C-alpha cells in the first residue's frame, strides 16, 4: 500500500482484493450514493467523502482532510489481507464460485450506533425508503457538514433521538419503527461506554444485549455484530442468504433459520461473516443463473 496526495486528492495504491462497487452496493451501509461521474459520495460519522476506484487505486477527497486518512483505511478494512482470506475460502469448492465472483467485497467498519438504527429502519423496508428515512432523520436532527459547496448532515446521536418525541420521529417517515427508534435511543443512553463497549464482549453476549433493544431481532442483531462490532463469526440471514444456503447445502429444500445458522457455524466458523458477504452478493447478482 502506498499513499500519495495529488491536488487535494488522496491516492491509496497497490490494493488487492478490493472492490469498492460491491462493498458500497451490497446493503452493508445506506449513506452512499453514486453520482454521474462514477464517484461515490458517502456520509460517515461527521465526515463527507467522495471516492472512486481505478484498478488497484482508491482515490478520494474528504471533509476530514489528510488527518482522516487512518480513519478511512480502517473504515474500508484496507489493512486486512483479503488475498489470504479468499485463498483459504477458495479451497471450499462449494462456496468457491461465490468467493471468486465477489472477490474484494470487504466488510466496512461502521459506527455501531448508526448501524443499529439503520438496520432497525431496514426491517420490512426497501432500500430507497431506508435511505430516505435516514436522510430525513439526519437533515432534521443531525449536524450540517459543508463540503465542496454542498451541505450534508451527520446522523443524529442517541442523545438527540432520545430527547425528541415519537411523533417527531414519525414525521421522518419511519412508520411503526418510530417507537423502536425512540425506545432504543433511550436504552442505549443507559449503557456505559455505549454500543462500542460490546466489542469487548463475546459474540453471544453482544447478541443478547442487542436483541434486548426494541425492534432488534436476530437478523438486525447479526448485521450490527458483523458490520460494526467486528464479530466475524456472525452470519446475518436474509432472503438471499436463505435461498443460496438452501441451494448449496439443502438440495434446494426449505430449511429453518436455526438449521442454516448451525450449518454456517459448523462450516465457516470465525470466517462466517466474510462468507456471508460473498454469498449475498453472488446470489443477488446471479440468482437466475444459479437457480
Q: Hey, is 41 helix, strand or coil?
A: strand
pLDDT in tens, the chain (291 residues): 899 999 999 999 999 999 999 999 999 999 999 988 889 999 999 999 999 999 999 999 999 999 999 999 999 999 999 999 999 999 999 999 999 999 999 999 999 999 999 999 998 889 999 999 999 999 999 999 999 999 999 999 999 999 999 999 999 999 999 999 999 999 999 887 789 999 999 999 999 999 999 999 999 999 999 999 999 999 999 999 999 999 999 999 999 999 999 999 999 999 999 999 999 999 999 999 888
Residue 37: predicted pLDDT: 81
Helices 177-189 and 112-122 meet at what angle, rounded to 10?
Answer: 160
Domains of the chain: 2-79 (3.30.310.260), 112-228 (1.10.340.30), 239-290 (1.10.1670.10)
What CA–CA distances, in Å, run from 133 to 140, 172, 261? 11, 6, 30
pLDDT of residue 191: 84
pLDDT of amino acid 77: 98
> Would you state the pLDDT for residue 194?
80
Say whether 48 sits in a helix, a strand or coil. Answer: strand
pTM metric for this prediction: 0.95
Q: CA-to-CA distance for 244 and 137, rounded, in angstroms?
A: 34
C-beta of residue 58 within 8 angstroms of C-beta of residue 67: no
Can you give the pLDDT at residue 146? Answer: 98
SS (H, E, C) 96-147: HHHHHHCCCCCCCCCCHHHHHHHHHHHCCCCHHHHHHHHHHHHHHHCCEEEE
Q: What pLDDT shows up at residue 36?
A: 81
Amino acid at each position: 500500500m502506498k499513499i500519495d496526495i495529488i491536488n487535494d486528492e488522496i491516492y491509496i495504491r497497490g490494493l488487492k482484493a478490493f472492490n469498492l462497487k460491491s462493498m458500497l452496493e451490497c446493503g452493508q451501509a445506506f449513506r452512499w450514493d453514486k453520482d454521474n461521474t462514477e464517484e461515490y459520495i458517502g456520509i460517515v460519522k461527521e465526515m463527507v467523502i467522495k471516492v472512486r476506484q481505478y484498478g488497484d487505486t482508491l482515490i478520494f477527497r474528504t471533509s476530514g482532510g489528510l488527518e482522516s486518512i487512518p480513519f478511512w483505511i480502517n473504515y474500508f478494512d484496507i489493512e486486512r489481507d483479503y488475498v489470504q482470506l479468499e485463498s483459504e475460502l477458495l479451497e471450499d469448492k462449494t462456496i468457491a464460485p461465490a468467493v471468486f465472483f465477489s472477490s474484494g467485497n470487504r466488510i466496512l467498519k461502521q459506527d455501531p450506533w448508526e448501524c443499529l438504527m439503520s438496520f432497525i429502519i431496514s426491517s420490512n423496508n426497501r432500500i430507497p425508503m431506508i435511505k430516505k428515512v435516514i436522510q430525513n432523520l439526519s437533515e432534521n436532527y443531525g449536524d450540517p457538514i459543508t463540503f465542496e459547496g454542498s451541505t450534508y448532515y451527520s446522523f443524529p446521536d442517541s442523545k438527540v433521538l432520545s430527547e425528541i418525541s415519537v411523533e417527531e420521529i414519525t414525521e421522518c417517515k419511519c412508520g411503526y419503527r418510530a417507537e423502536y427508534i425512540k425506545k432504543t435511543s433511550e436504552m442505549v443512553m443507559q449503557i456505559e461506554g455505549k454500543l462500542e463497549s460490546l466489542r469487548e464482549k463475546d459474540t453471544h453476549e453482544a447478541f443478547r444485549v442487542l436483541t434486548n433493544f426494541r425492534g432488534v431481532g436476530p437478523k438486525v442483531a447479526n448485521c450490527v455484530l458483523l458490520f460494526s462490532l467486528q464479530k466475524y463469526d456472525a452470519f446475518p440471514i436474509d432472503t438471499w442468504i436463505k435461498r443460496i444456503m438452501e441451494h448449496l447445502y439443502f438440495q434446494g429444500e426449505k430449511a429453518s433459520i436455526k438449521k442454516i445458522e448451525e450449518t454456517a457455524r459448523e462450516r465457516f466458523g470465525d470466517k462466517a461473516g466474510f462468507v456471508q458477504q460473498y454469498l449475498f452478493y453472488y446470489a443477488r447478482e446471479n440468482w437466475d443463473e444459479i437457480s
